[in-house]
Structure 1
């Protein structure tokens, strides 16, 4: 839906589906109810998530025609997609395989190009379209500095092939499509700093010569084209987990003319650890209720000396819960953004408010997407019917942006 600073939607990765038929049934069941609650009088956008299998199905003429007709009949449109999870995302153990296949593979590249073909065919006139994606790969798969360096270069070159295609589409049609790289804990690109450094020292260095050769454009024009088609996906949960300074990151991006393709509006768990012993035990027991086996729930602890201590998943953090150097925990668990207090724990809702305030005062993207995908694995006390949960999330954002 159109709001005062751009377009707002929710990511359909919250709907469980193994293939396009199941995805479409979930949309038909849930979307009209959500639209009536948040966007009854205007068109409502979708943040579409397609697995590889679903994308292959939707490339066929008949299901694609039915989907386009459904969009028209339901006053819906698609302007952003989630191309991060390649395979099944619910009812299975995902963990670090959310990166599989990673950007070192041809499979990831071909999947992403297919998603862009679909998006180009349904993108409304006059709008840009973006697809968020993995931050190259999962860093712990690479055990040496050299293998990590090789993976980063291979992944970057595969991304360049995609943005060369997006630049060709722009020259042929005038439509702007952008690949939105999403840093996250334990990705090869984990932080704002790592993303900006990679963009300047790896992506531009490798991509500018390719753009010069392919399009016969000078280096300055090549750089501008790269920055049009390769953007940052600003997942607020992920940046909050790393205790990042949102204003500083966004200011540096603006200074360097690196664009934010999309804000993913999401919240992490956090807790202050300077509590009495009985409260500390309650905090630990509460964190245990979020220790579920489907997704990675990395924890970043803020130490008393200001350094960060990173745990690859919640079980390892719980084993070190009594570390005397830690004064706060933040955990990668997308909790409802409209809830701030969870017993002695809280969410990083304040980070969302800060980012949305920055967006209101000086808009830095036109794409905003609520991405709370953990409804099925939340502790029971936080669960509501899915359409009510999503509507609450969207209405909370609408009120913040008003």
Structure 2
């Protein structure tokens, strides 16, 4: 299995720009790691995906350009629709929802593109997607429309398999604050609506950690429902054991940046989980009497400054639980998109940082049935 890093860390939203970013970062990462092939979890903004889907020659060109650089694509990240590096993203990343025809078109474009990028030795291709949308507004009519959209995606995935002989699978990615806030929510919604051969879950381990869910119990729940983890986004959240102290609050405030939403959860002494939709809101109103987890993807290899820690233990436990079933792991994609919004003291050269994360992941996560 090939370990990948997600290219949503790069801002380019046209094909030439994407290739320039791959030259500037992905190729140097591959060279730093001393590898002939490097997996990239490609992010294509909707406009780029539409252009590629409409032009087979452009898809062939992209496939050739990737091959010439020693880059291999087995997975796409189709969660952000576009503008993922705008000055302010926040809730815009959850638009369009799965009730909007634009979300369906984008996903189908990604299916068309990925089918022509998959290497011959790929067991399958995966496309991660948002958990329906932000939680408000959402009701039974939204469920109905989203369910119809998933039926259409499944029909296209079935057709793509017949044409290309390699399955492509959609991976729904639960995220705090969304309609499918937790893995439990996603399992409940998907179990009676999808064909597991074509639709499963993307287990983002930062999101999993923020929910305070147990990794082994989570994997068991997914399997018991007859669903698969199609893709793991290897990521870590911020953890602070005592968020009420002056030092903790000062350290957390350094991560309260304006671009992305950083949902916070607090675990109470009774086991309840309190929620805030962004870090400034949490600092203002959560009681801070129990530990916090913050949705801020932090580099896997570099621990934040005390009193903050990261949740790499959750990531390792989740991968271990998946490995216990035997057979190959699902696609594993390192997804730290926040390098440019980290506190200045914790940043490093981007190519160096991505290479360091991949080394960490290869050594600590993928000890069996993996080649990189």
Classify the TM-score, shorter chain: over 0.9
Q: CA deviation at 1:260?
A: 0.8
The answer on whether the counterparts of 2:191 and 2:226 sit within 8 Å (CA) in structure 1 is no
Select the residue among 15, 30, 36 that pairs with 2:31: 36
1:71 aligned onto 2:69:
no
Q: CA deviation at 1:173?
A: 3.5
1:96-107 pair list within 5 angstroms: 96-107=91-102
1:370 aligned onto 2:334:
yes
User: What CA distance in whole angstroms lies between the structure 2 residues aligned with 1:133 and 1:84?
Assistant: 4
User: What CA distance in whole angstroms lies between the structure 1 residues aligned with 2:95 and 2:111?
Assistant: 19
Partner residue of 1:242? 211
What secondary structure, in the 3-state scheme, does the structure 2 residue paired with 1:157 have? helix
- The unaligned stretches of length 5 or more in structure 2 are 368-372
1:19 aligned onto 2:14:
yes
Q: CA deviation at 1:174?
A: 2.5
Q: CA deviation at 1:26?
A: 0.4
What secondary structure, in the 3-state scheme, does the structure 2 residue paired with 1:154 have? helix
- The unaligned stretches of length 5 or more in structure 1 are 1-5, 205-225
> Between Structure 1 and Structure 2, which shows a larger proportion of helix residues?
1
User: What CA distance in whole angstroms lies between the structure 2 residues aligned with 1:305 and 1:227?
Assistant: 35
Partner residue of 2:299? 336
Select the residue among 26, 46, 50 that pairs with 1:52: 46
The total of aligned residue pairs comes to 363
The answer on whether the counterparts of 2:334 and 2:357 sit within 8 Å (CA) in structure 1 is yes
The Cα offsets for residues 273-331 of structure 1, whole Å up to 9 and x where unpaired, read as: 277xxxx111111111111111110100001111000101111101025x16x311111
1:392 aligned onto 2:360:
no
User: What CA distance in whole angstroms lies between the structure 1 residues aligned with 2:147 and 2:179?
Assistant: 11
What secondary structure, in the 3-state scheme, does the structure 2 residue paired with 1:243 have? coil
User: What CA distance in whole angstroms lies between the structure 2 residues aligned with 1:88 and 1:70?
Assistant: 24
User: What CA distance in whole angstroms lies between the structure 2 residues aligned with 1:30 and 1:179?
Assistant: 27
Select the residue among 261, 269, 291 that pairs with 2:230: 261
Partner residue of 1:157? 148
The Cα offsets for residues 81-130 of structure 1, whole Å up to 9 and x where unpaired, read as: 00000011113311111011111010000010001100001112242001
The answer on whether the counterparts of 2:169 and 2:199 sit within 8 Å (CA) in structure 1 is yes
RMSD over aligned Cα, in angstroms? 1.7
Partner residue of 1:316? 281
The answer on whether the counterparts of 2:205 and 2:235 sit within 8 Å (CA) in structure 1 is yes
Task: Report the structure number with the largest CA radius of gyration.
Answer: 1
User: What CA distance in whole angstroms lies between the structure 1 residues aligned with 2:35 and 2:357?
Assistant: 19
TM-score, normalised on structure 2?
A: 0.93
Select the residue among 4, 8, 20 that pairs with 2:3: 8
Partner residue of 2:370? none
Partner residue of 2:259? 294
